[in-house]
Amino acid sequence: MSYPQTLTAEEQLAAAKQKLNIPQIIAICGSTRFMQEMTNTDRDLTWDGFIVVKPGCNMKEPNQLWADPAAADAGKQRLDDLHRAKIRLADVVLVVGDYIGDSTRAEIAYARSLGKPVQFTHPEIDPGEPDGDLAAMEA
């Protein structure tokens, strides 16, 4: 007698997104020095019918939320955890900008460890095996 296979959490999420007819979700990653480019990319992809998640805070710009160093340290960890959750939710990760720092490099490695396709607005900066390009995503 065979028993039904139990789906992983990732498989359950994918099935639910398909059943609910959820559009493809793209997680934007990149250095916060490219926040304007991320915002422009978010707008363009949203216009094209994608759901886009991206960094929502730029801690390089002064703000009272992270003015206190202790709050900034705790907040940075929360934001890193939140961004990893956005990557888990996404179908595709898009790295914006022509520079990859340590945080973005870690996000790319994390996405790839989950089997997520990682694409680049500047494919020449890909630190590993290419997964495709932005044009392929829009096809």
* The pLDDT of residue 45 is above 90: yes
Q: Please, which pLDDT band fits residue 50 given cuts at 50, 70 and 90?
A: very high
When pLDDT is averaged across residues 77-98 and rounded to a whole number, the result is 97
Interstrand relation of 92-95 and 25-29 (parallel, antiparallel or unpaired): parallel
Radius of gyration of the chain (CA): 17
**Which comes out higher in pLDDT, residue 128 or 62?**
62
Return d(Cα 75, Cα 113) in angstroms, integer: 25
Contacts of 46 (CB under 8 A, 6+ apart): 52
* The pLDDT of residue 135 is above 60: no
Share of residues in the chain with pLDDT > 90 (%): 79
- Do the beta carbons of residue 60 and residue 88 sit within 8 Å? no
* The pLDDT of residue 21 is above 90: yes
Which domains, ranges and CATH numbers included, belong to the chain?
A: 24-54+61-138 (3.40.50.450)
Q: What is the pTM of this model?
A: 0.86
